[in-house]
Structure 1
Amino acid sequence: MPVSPAGARREPCRKPARRNADTSGPAGQEAASGRSAGYDTAAGKPARRNADSSKPAGRNADTGKPAGRNADTAKPAGQEADSGRSVGRNAGTGKPAGQEADSGRSVGRGGHSGTSAGRGAGSGTSVGRGGGFGRLVGVDAVRGVAVLGMFAVHVGPEARPEGARLLIVAADGRAPALFTLLAGFSLVLARHRRAGWAERYRPLLIRCGVLAVLGLALASLWPGILVILAFFAVYFLAAEPFTRLSTPALTAVAAVSVVAGPLLSFLLGPPFGYGTSGRGLVPEAADLTTPAGLGDVLCELLLTGAYPLATYFPYVLAGMALARLCDVRERAVARRMAVWGTAAAVAGYGAAWLATHVSGARERLLAAIAVHHPEAMAAADPVREVLRAQYGAVPSTSWDWLLVADPYSQTPLETLGNAGVGTALIGLCALAARHGVGARLLRPLAVLGAMALSAYVVHALVLAGPAHGAGSWSAWIAFSTAALALTWGWQRVWAHSPLRRGPVEHALRLATHGRSRRESPTRPAGHPSA
């Protein structure tokens, strides 16, 4: 595996100061995850009809169903609805009225709706103090793992394939892919039909606008990471038309995008002047002050940035397809996700290894590097040296670049491998959450994952200030411990308030939807798990 490109703090980076580190941030969603930041959802169903779900940034509203059918849905960036009903029987849903959270089935057909109160731990959901079911613990826990992986890349020691540093190698490049996959997954869980254009698109546009402004502002502070929030705003806008596709059509589009996205990036690089290098920038507020800067920002968001739409949107589509196809509350489905996700990861990374080490692709790449990147030939590994110089895509100097699977190369094989890792983690965590011990062990990670946007913003601010340039095991331990403790404490303190979602998540919810009449400090929407 290659050395981590989180380079500004550890090695010279051949890019402008604002590019000199890599990021694996979540984002407004789930970038910071897009997830709802409340650990429990509002009471919306009788105990026998619970269906909790992991919600994405800003997709919230009441379904309008009677009390016996899923009423409250997920809110933006971590916001569940307060139903005003008995707290002991809460369960959010992200589906259209009359459908269960992520099965897409009608309420009367079982699936998620057949979950009974007595099956708490076995359902893969969190159980609140009142006995009601909350969010999908397994999905939130995976996002929490992604947050810790992001910390490892940003403030941990340099990634090397040796000893404990293999953990950094494992996180390098996979954390942003995992956040993006989960963003797509949560978009489907929170999907529901609205009556009018304003109710459907105004919250989406406001949410994306807030994420974009926040991303531009954080990037302008030069925190030493490549801030991903502005890219997530584009992902959410681009995903809206695909939420209307049927499940077979969405699955087919997702499969094609895994190849089409990286191929499009490879072919369009030379016409835009990025055939050999120059990719990996993130937009900043200052870029918006001139017409040329506006053009650069658009190009970075779509094609040449650190997390461009062309190469990262396939993760969003893959996550959406997974949420449509896989009901993670069912044990057999979660087990299949773990198995098939592992198989996809082995196929992606394994095919890349065979192509580069057996079929001769590496020798052909070295020949291309000698011509187009002669300065890299002095490095111990010229291939990795070239890839460390840009993020989000490979150079367009040889077709063999599309056969590698190094971090941030975003080739079809790396995309397949990263998506496989994410799928396997969702399945494994969903299985673990079905058991009492597993659910308790996952709970701190799930709380952190539910407040991932707040964690992302705070860590970027700290890196822009007192911890700028940090890079050691002690820094990673400090960031991780603080994040786990503070998010847990926050949700305990604000258990009876909409603020339980997290400070940034709550602010985003207010900007998107305003204050709900159902939400009040005296009638909590739910409780964090004990």
Structure 2
Amino acid sequence: MDDVTVLADRATGVHDTPLAPVPQKTVRLTGIDVARGLAVLGMYAVHVGPDPAAGGYASFFRVFEGHSAALFAVLAGVSISLMSGGRNPKTGRARTSVMLRLGTRAPLLVALGLWLTNLDTGYLVILAYYGVCFLFAIPWLRFGAKVLASAAVVAAALFPFISFLIRAQIEPRGLTFLPPDLSLEDFGSSAAFLRGSVILLITGTFPALNLMTYIFAGMALGRLDLGSARVCRRLFFGGVAVAALGYLVSWIATDLLGGMNAIYRSLGDEAAHYGMTPEQLFSLNQTWIHGTPPTTTLAWELLPTGASYTPFDFVISIGIAAAVIGGCQLVAARFTRAVRPLADLGGRVLSAYVLHFVAISLLWHEGEEGVYSMAHFLEFSAVAILAAMAWRKWIGRGPLEWALHHLSNWPKFLLPAPVPARRG
């Protein structure tokens, strides 16, 4: 999902780009919102689209599993960079104002995420984890692309193993044991608050410790000249190459060097409990490795599965996100009017995210049959796009974007008043 468009200022040119002619750089940055719009549609594909396990055309929907959430997270990092100055990081009181705004939005997103979880839709909600990541991002606002890219590389390489070692001690899990999710009860007492904090940071479905890998990568991308066609072409082709390399090396490690055999051996007792072979158990449950791979063997960290938060998942998902961002920037610069509907949706991504959970809670009960279908995917997508287009034309900023913007905009009063230029 962060999948939070409201992070970027209007001054960046990312949001609410008018249809009338505007400076070229502003038009080209419309691609960031187009990428967000695609991420929203990918989320709808996962939540209400056809089940890939059904086979046939539904199999193509497997590409959205895990990677849409990663794209949201990378785009949230891009927004943080744009908010804090883009290619030229803000300094002094201007940066302090951004720090305070992020610090204000963080608990608001945590609270909103907990409320959505409390709707009991049966879906995983990432907003609370994003809120924690925004706090973690504050000390990194001063840095440029190279430092942030290095942080992303280190995080992708080390954080999964740090998480593995910690979880193996405090909350070991097998394949069919799902990680805990947050609830309002996790913050009702000091002991519950401690448990909720551990879930947010390490053991939850989108642990902030690992989620920061995507935030770092997005912040690094946001420090680049995203209005440059040359930069965007490099992002597109480089991202495709990185993702392909990630899949290749993971395949070598799992299929040629014995990683999958180690995983199957670790599943022996668990598979026998369910009357299955290890291969059958893995095939049925591999998409449920949300953020916290099993702790039965380190070989789990060799998988490329989306949302598994393994090193290979990070490399592949960041490569895909970079390619999508670069490609959307190139397409939006050339076909601005054609992609306007997607940009309108992406410009109201927080509202699209929250309201689709509300719609699901009103339309269906948890576990109800018939939720996943092509018809529901098309219906959700069409309603969201049409509503976003109408809202932009007649009102402007999305409803939740407007609320979050105004609730966290108080630090602007800390900025010094502009000094008028002297004549002569």
Relative to the length of structure 2, the TM-score reads 0.87
Letter in 2 for 1:471: Y
Aligned residue runs from structure 1 range 159-308, under 5 A: 159-160=52-53, 162-191=55-84, 192-195=90-93, 199-276=97-174, 278-308=177-207
* CA 377–238 in structure 1, closer or farther in 2 if over 3 Å, else same: farther
Q: Which digits, 9 at most, give the CA deviation of each residue in 1:204-229, with x for residues without a partner?
A: 22211111111111111112211111
Aligned residue runs from structure 1 range 108-507, under 5 A: 126=17, 128-129=19-20, 131=22, 133=26, 136-160=29-53, 162-191=55-84, 192-195=90-93, 199-276=97-174, 278-324=177-223, 326-371=224-269, 374-375=272-273, 378=276, 381-435=280-334, 438-468=335-365, 469=368, 470-494=371-395, 500-507=396-403
Q: 1:311–1:410: 8 Å Cα contact kept in structure 2?
A: yes
SS at match of 1:433: helix
* CA 204–221 in structure 1, closer or farther in 2 if over 3 Å, else same: same
Q: 1:370–1:377: 8 Å Cα contact kept in structure 2?
A: no
| Structure 1 CA distance for aligned equivalents of residues 98 and 49 of structure 2 | 41
| Structure 1 CA distance for aligned equivalents of residues 410 and 209 of structure 2 | 33
Q: 2:70–2:318: 8 Å Cα contact kept in structure 1?
A: yes
| Structure 2 CA distance for aligned equivalents of residues 141 and 281 of structure 1 | 33
Partner of 1:35: 5
Letter in 2 for 1:182: L
SS at match of 2:352: helix
Shift of 1:311: 2.0
Q: Which digits, 9 at most, give the CA deviation of each residue in 1:378-400, with x for residues without a partner?
A: 16633244534541121121121
Shift of 1:408: 2.0
SS at match of 1:446: helix
Shift of 1:413: 0.5
* CA 376–365 in structure 1, closer or farther in 2 if over 3 Å, else same: farther
* CA 126–206 in structure 1, closer or farther in 2 if over 3 Å, else same: closer
| Structure 2 CA distance for aligned equivalents of residues 135 and 236 of structure 1 | 26
* CA 389–185 in structure 1, closer or farther in 2 if over 3 Å, else same: closer
Letter in 2 for 1:450: G
Seq. identity, %: 31
SS at match of 1:226: coil
Q: Which digits, 9 at most, give the CA deviation of each residue in 1:484-507, with x for residues without a partner?
A: 00000111111xxxxx11000000
| Structure 2 CA distance for aligned equivalents of residues 418 and 456 of structure 1 | 20
Letter in 1 for 2:253: A
| Structure 1 CA distance for aligned equivalents of residues 287 and 12 of structure 2 | 42
Aligned residue runs from structure 1 range 1-20, under 5 A: none
Structure with greater proportional helix content: 2
Partner of 1:512: 408
| Structure 1 CA distance for aligned equivalents of residues 96 and 232 of structure 2 | 37
SS at match of 2:100: helix
Shift of 1:516: 8.7
Partner of 1:93: 12
Letter in 2 for 1:363: N
Letter in 2 for 1:484: I
Point out the more displaced range, 248-257 or 342-351. Answer: 248-257
Q: 1:369–1:377: 8 Å Cα contact kept in structure 2?
A: no
Which structure would you say has the larger RCO, counting Cα contacts within 8 Å and 6 or more residues apart?
2
* CA 194–134 in structure 1, closer or farther in 2 if over 3 Å, else same: farther
Shift of 1:329: 1.4
* CA 141–312 in structure 1, closer or farther in 2 if over 3 Å, else same: same
Shift of 1:377: 6.4
How many residue pairs match? The answer is: 399
Shift of 1:198: 6.8
Q: 1:223–1:465: 8 Å Cα contact kept in structure 2?
A: no
* CA 359–515 in structure 1, closer or farther in 2 if over 3 Å, else same: closer
Gap runs ≥5 in structure 2: 85-89, 414-424
Q: 1:282–1:300: 8 Å Cα contact kept in structure 2?
A: yes
Q: 1:220–1:286: 8 Å Cα contact kept in structure 2?
A: no
| Structure 2 CA distance for aligned equivalents of residues 428 and 200 of structure 1 | 29
